[in-house]
Structure 1
Amino acid sequence: MEPVEALERIAFLLERQGAVTYRVQAFRKASAVIGGLSPDEVRKRAANGSLARLKGLGPKTVHVVEEALSGEVPGYLARLTEEAGGPLVEGEQGQRLRRALRGDCHLHSDWSDGGSPVEAMAATARDLGHNWCVLTDHSPRLTVARGLSPERLRAQLSLVAEVNERLAPFRLLTGIECDILDNGELDQEPELLAELDVVVASVHSKLRMESAPMTRRLLAAVANPLVDVLGHCTGRQITGKLRPESQFDAAEVFAACAAHRTAVEINCRPDRFDPPRRLLRQALDAGTLFAIDTDAHAPGQLDWQIYGCARAEECGVPAERVITTWTERQLTTWTETGRTPRR
């Protein structure tokens, strides 16, 4: 096993496990440092004990590199593989739907509050078996997440085109997770949103708004022809810093989603699992489409999709109602013409 491969695999498994960022970044930084050296220089430094003098490497990562160079599977990786490398759900739960998936409509990069570069996120999605994924960094109002101004978003579109040249035939689609403002309007220039392949709209502020105004807020968003997916609809947090579900008329909102062909996101993050099963079943009965999305902020979190697949299967969601089972052509045709033409 090559040192970079070992360091990257450790980082992936830590992210998959939901480890704190600083633990992951130690291995990602070490991987970048080692990857920037020639194999001969890495071996020479390992032999003379100077690896530890490289900025970005510490005792733990140096030990991983040395073990990998000796032809061993590093002990840290072996322990982590045993602890966190197995199936995330038991048995065949969710596997049928997971095998049908072709993409992911919601992920973040280091352009907003994600921890890894755009190309690393896209390449990991490809390596996990996807044909496409959608880059959906945050919109301007979410300053805590370094939301993208119109100028930064336009710059990101150019980067996506470059990434697609390198990763073809895999396709990284342009997108955004756009804040739903208090009145239901969207937090980005409409003309710019119209240029994107996919728009996920989510509420990130005033989550405890009373039910009636929250219902009006969501109804305005899902009826907007620029919106393709309603993200984590209740906004709940079920682990860590707990947050209750936002209150709204689910029957009315899901009926509007069905009428306007706006997909309801099945958010796979273990701290969200949004919507809860009772609302997922209600959306199913209302006739909505669904997007099984990771909302990943790191490469290893892209493997969380099985959680959403398991919940969807448990609630009886058929694969044909899941837009993340569609081809890239089917998806982009739908987003362009499924409700109101955008271009």
Structure 2
Amino acid sequence: MNPARALRDIAFRLERAGEPTYRVRAFRQAAAVVDGLAPEELESRVRAGTLQALKGIGKATAGVIEDASQGRTPAYAAKLDEADVPDGGPLRAALRGDCHTHSEWSDGGSPIREMAETAQELGHEWIVLTDHSPRLTVARGLSAERLRDQMIEVAQVNEELAPFRVLHGIEVDILDDGALDQTEELLAQLDFVVASVHSKLRMPAREMTPRLLAAVANPYVRVLGHCTGRMVHGRGRPESEFDAEKVFTACRENGVTVEINSRPERLDPPMRLLHQAVALGCEFAIDSDAHAPGQLDWQGYGCVRAAEAELGPDRIVNTRSVDELLAG
């Protein structure tokens, strides 16, 4: 068993279960240390019991490396509970990509390439990288300069992983007046734009409705992200209030996809609004909103909700090839 692979498998399972980032990071950092060792040094340290002398390897990760090197199922892995993530059935099998993902460039925990490689392993042909825009400073939103720098890395990853494709996008903040938190010049250079509200979520419907209508009327917007902003776990957060019929009708008329956000703490939109958007003829994106590789597997939650709303693959944009998606 490959020790680095064993460490990353544990990290994936922890992420899928929603475990704290610090715990996951320990296993991914240890995997990176193992990747940098010559096979002879790794073998020597396992025999001598000196793995923990290496920066980035602690007691738990050393145990995983020792078990894997000797062909045993790591004891740490054996005691992990499997996350009860639904497989999503036939609809999940039909998905070819994910329109909403984050990397370490903003508030994600892993490099772009690691997100892309995991998506490949899950059976995807493409993902859209949608790190945050500048105003969301708590999430290390990308300035115009950093977004341009990110374009270079995305191009490099695409060259290395072809034919898999990372589409360069952004999750752009919808400002108070419905404008977008990035210049039109830069938005025009991106493959894909997800627009979401992250601030003043409690503004009255008479203000939130025109705010959302202005955003979905922007010609660069492809997806309306987590439209109510609700949180259903922990302390929770109530839904934003807006005229759903007007907003979903505007999405349909402007060719903007409504996101079915699969994060377990969001599951947004609520089922009554999802049924309403279906009845109004909208198209949908079943997105993980992943901030770590293991969270890419959360699309199953969204697929269950889409099936409950009697949505077929023809109205789910993730079932399309890259060329079909970009053709819009």
Tell me, what secondary structure is at the counterpart of 1:271?
Answer: coil
In structure 2, distance between residues paired with 1:94 and 1:38:
41
Quick one: which amino acid aligns to residue 165 of structure 1? E
Name 1:16's counterpart in structure 2.
Answer: 16
Tell me, what secondary structure is at the counterpart of 2:99?
Answer: coil
Quick one: which amino acid aligns to residue 61 of structure 2? T
Is 1:7–1:30's contact at 8 Å kept on the other side of the alignment?
yes
Tell me, what secondary structure is at the counterpart of 2:208?
Answer: helix
Matched pairs, number: 328
Give the RMSD, CA atoms, in angstroms: 0.9
Tell me, what secondary structure is at the counterpart of 2:79?
Answer: helix
Residues 23-62 of structure 1: matches in 2 within 5 Å?
Answer: 23-62=23-62
Tell me, what secondary structure is at the counterpart of 2:98?
Answer: coil
In structure 1, distance between residues paired with 2:187 and 2:78:
45
Is 1:268–1:307's contact at 8 Å kept on the other side of the alignment?
yes
Quick one: which amino acid aligns to residue 25 of structure 1? R
Name 2:255's counterpart in structure 1.
Answer: 261
In structure 2, distance between residues paired with 1:94 and 1:121:
20
Quick one: which amino acid aligns to residue 47 of structure 2? A
Name 1:222's counterpart in structure 2.
Answer: 216
Name 2:100's counterpart in structure 1.
Answer: 106
Residue deviations 1:169-220, cap 9 Å, x none?
A: 0000010000000000000010110111110000000000011100000000
- The reply to whether residue 70 of structure 1 matches residue 67 of structure 2 is no
In structure 2, distance between residues paired with 1:2 and 1:157:
32
Is 1:94–1:311's contact at 8 Å kept on the other side of the alignment?
no
Query: Residue 252 of structure 1: CA displacement?
Result: 0.7
Name 2:179's counterpart in structure 1.
Answer: 185
5+ residue gaps, structure 1: 335-343
Quick one: which amino acid aligns to residue 8 of structure 2? E
Name 2:267's counterpart in structure 1.
Answer: 273
- The reply to whether residue 167 of structure 1 matches residue 161 of structure 2 is yes
Q: Choose which of 93, 110, 122 in structure 2 pairs with 1:128.
A: 122
Tell me, what secondary structure is at the counterpart of 2:325?
Answer: helix
Query: Residue 40 of structure 1: CA displacement?
Result: 1.2
Quick one: which amino acid aligns to residue 302 of structure 2? G
Query: Residue 79 of structure 1: CA displacement?
Result: 2.2
Q: Choose which of 309, 315, 324 in structure 1 pairs with 2:309.
A: 315
TM-score by length of 1: 0.94
Query: Residue 308 of structure 1: CA displacement?
Result: 0.3
Is 2:88–2:299's contact at 8 Å kept on the other side of the alignment?
no
Tell me, what secondary structure is at the counterpart of 2:101?
Answer: coil
- The reply to whether residue 88 of structure 1 matches residue 85 of structure 2 is yes
In structure 2, distance between residues paired with 1:208 and 1:307:
26
Name 1:303's counterpart in structure 2.
Answer: 297
In structure 2, distance between residues paired with 1:210 and 1:3:
53
In structure 1, distance between residues paired with 2:248 and 2:323:
26
Is 1:280–1:315's contact at 8 Å kept on the other side of the alignment?
yes
Query: Residue 94 of structure 1: CA displacement?
Result: 3.0
Q: Percent identity?
A: 61
Residue deviations 1:194-247, cap 9 Å, x none?
A: 111110000000000011100000000011111000000000011124111000
In structure 2, distance between residues paired with 1:261 and 1:253:
12
In structure 2, distance between residues paired with 1:240 and 1:37:
41
Tell me, what secondary structure is at the counterpart of 2:100?
Answer: coil
In structure 1, distance between residues paired with 2:209 and 2:185:
26
In structure 1, distance between residues paired with 2:5 and 2:249:
48
Tell me, what secondary structure is at the counterpart of 1:104?
Answer: strand
Quick one: which amino acid aligns to residue 317 of structure 1? L
Tell me, what secondary structure is at the counterpart of 1:186?
Answer: coil
In structure 2, distance between residues paired with 1:143 and 1:109:
15
Name 2:231's counterpart in structure 1.
Answer: 237
Residue deviations 1:35-63, cap 9 Å, x none?
A: 11011111101111211111101111111
Name 1:341's counterpart in structure 2.
Answer: none
In structure 2, distance between residues paired with 1:187 and 1:318:
33
In structure 1, distance between residues paired with 2:88 and 2:288:
14
Moved over 2 A (4+): none
Is 1:184–1:219's contact at 8 Å kept on the other side of the alignment?
yes
In structure 2, distance between residues paired with 1:241 and 1:329:
41
In structure 2, distance between residues paired with 1:143 and 1:76:
36
- The reply to whether residue 144 of structure 1 matches residue 144 of structure 2 is no
Quick one: which amino acid aligns to residue 224 of structure 2? L
Name 2:200's counterpart in structure 1.
Answer: 206
